[in-house]
Amino acid sequence: MISTFDKVLVELGVGDGQLLAKILEYSNSPNTCYVGIEIDPKQIQKARDKLRGRNIYLINDSFENALSYFPDDYVDEFIFVLPPPSYIDKSMESQWILLYKNIYKKLKEKGTLTIVTEIINDLLGPVSDIEFRSWKNWLSSKFVTIGFIIKEMFDDSPCHYSSHFLDQFKADQLRIKLITLILAKSNSQTI
Ligand SMILES: C[S@@+](CC[C@H](N)C(=O)[O-])C[C@H]1O[C@@H](n2cnc3c(N)ncnc32)[C@H](O)[C@@H]1O
């Protein structure tokens, strides 16, 4: 069914659907298929109550299973806002690197992955500039190793993004620093 659309946008961890609703408000194209993936049945039900349309598909499954439904070189845009720690934390890299390699494979040649993620000081104090900079360098280098090109990287989240957790995190900017990475699939076969 999805193959009848010109574009495919996939949000990973769609939660209660607040962000996808915002994205649709901002740019709902009838030729784009919007897919949300969420493992929690209660959250996906909330998303289903909010989001309806012939171009919206909400999948109640894990990222790993749901990604396997897409052919390679198929998705135009992935969005991952506030990945759970097991999908982004430094200490858990060996667990999550495979998911991003798979995302890379599923992207079209000029496709993008937008990640909004956060650093929180271990002692719950303010995040220092040095700590912030070194974390950003480490994170971006991980995605470059997979094969992504860093298209954009900026502090904070895109201004039209809003979600349950994002709104909470933005209220505590001293202790929680956000960055957005917009990663593009490169032309070279690095995987
Ligand atoms: C930190 S929340 C962010 C939710 C939403 N993006 C937001 O910004 O409010 C992460 C979401 O990912 C979902 N999630 C966690 N692990 C998952 C997995 N393996 N597969 C699918 N969804 C998962 C959680 O249930 C949760 O809704």
Q: What is the CATH number of the domain that holds 128?
A: 3.40.50.150
Both structure tokens of 100: 């991003």
Is position 88 within any domain?
yes
Contact in structure between 7 and 112 (CB atoms under 8 Å): no
pLDDT at 187 over 90: no
pLDDT tens digits along 58-89: 999 999 999 999 999 999 999 999 999 999 99
> For a pocket test of ligand 1, which of 14, 82, 88, 168 has the largest count of ligand atoms closer than 8 A to its C-beta?
82
pLDDT tens digits along 10-69: 999 999 999 999 999 998 899 999 999 999 999 999 999 999 999 999 999 999 999 999
Is position 190 within any domain?
no
Say what the pTM is.
Answer: 0.95
Domain count, the chain: 1
Contact in structure between 143 and 181 (CB atoms under 8 Å): yes
Is position 145 within any domain?
yes
> What pLDDT sits at residue 28?
84
> What pLDDT sits at residue 1?
58
The count of other CB atoms within 10 Å of the CB of residue 156 is 13
Is position 157 within any domain?
yes
Is position 66 within any domain?
yes
Task: Calculate what percentage of the chain has a pLDDT beyond 90.
Answer: 87
Is position 34 within any domain?
yes
The residue whose CA is least distant from atom 20 of ligand 1 is: 62
CA of 82 to the centre of ligand 1 (A): 8
Range of the domain at 28: 2-185
Q: Which residues contact 61 (CB under 8 A, 6 or more apart)?
A: 37, 39
> For a pocket test of ligand 1, which of 10, 11, 12 has the largest count of ligand atoms closer than 8 A to its C-beta?
12
Is position 191 within any domain?
no
Query: Is there an atom of ligand 1 within 6 Å of 97 CB?
Result: no
pLDDT tens digits along 130-185: 999 999 999 999 999 999 999 999 999 999 999 999 999 999 988 999 999 999 99
* Separation of alpha carbons 90 and 137, rounded Å: 12
Pairing of strands 176-185, 107-120: antiparallel
Atom of ligand 1 nearest to the CA of 81: 6
